[in-house]
Structure 1
Amino acid sequence: MEPVLLAALSVLFFFSFWNGFTDAANAIATVVATRVLTPIKAVALSAAGNFVGMFFFPTAVAVTMGEGIIRSSLVTAEILIAALIGGLAWDVLTWWFGLPTSESHVLVGSMIGVGVAAAGTDAINVSTILSKVVIPMVTSPTIAFIFAFFFTAAVMRLSLIKTFAVNEGDLGVAR
């Protein structure tokens, strides 16, 4: 195995490890803290979700990261190593100071940074960044908010109807 490939895989391993170290707990924190699931069941469910996701979207994100953010002619093992080391350094720094971060956003930023450092601003695929990073980053929370709003309203309405019916029944029994 070539040394540069071994170096790239090693840095990728550490970046992936750090991603799991910092994000895995965030993914299951709510269900564990509210005691909906035990920690073991929550980790198993999270692992199963990651495993299933790997089959439905096996290369979509990797292709965007490898060819979409910067010109694909610039993507070499050295560029990937630089992006991963820069991203890993930022992740460790934000973890050290207790700042929230997203490894996905860090990786996009580090790919843009190494692309600009290697070939200037012409290296950036602006249309891909807008269509596959910026627009989904803005629309996803907006759409989720709208769905959550209407779902919560429906659940509250059903809950009030049920509560009112129970209270009416209680009054009838008390007479």
Structure 2
Amino acid sequence: MPEKPERCIDLLKKAGCKPKVIAHCEAVCTCARGYARQTPLADTDLVIAGALIHDIGRGSTHSLGHAQRGADLLRGMKCPEKLARIVECHTGAGLSADECTLLGLLPRDCMPQTIEEKIVTNADNLIAGAKRVTIEEEIAGAIHLPRKIRKRMYRLFNEVELLTL
């Protein structure tokens, strides 16, 4: 696992991520770190690394497939699976294997399961570009998504909030 935040940023640059993507990842990290520090259940170092590297796939694509591509890139670099899983399931509030198939992605279960996966996914939802937004603003901006996905995003937000009281 990239031990230091600087190493994560170097990996993003080597993967071809633009400065705006890196700024977004840094903002997601700030948000996620705040959540992780509020619960003894989370591995804070893993949350920080996962948040910084979550959009590594955007170095090669800005499609929805960036999450799976980024996870595969990390697996190819022999990074820990728990880090690859954070990257793979950070989109929205996760995608089921069936939803992935319908979207033209590999049929993988990309639903966040661990507290670290949930914290990073939720933090990503709360950052637009490099700016913090409310969950209500995020869901309003996702009005084009099916209702069940918007509800999933809101449930994830509430779960993370409750775990980090």
Q: Same fold (TM over 0.5)?
A: no
Q: Which has the larger radius of gyration?
A: 1
So what's the TM-score if we normalise by structure 1? Answer: 0.30
Higher share in helix: 1
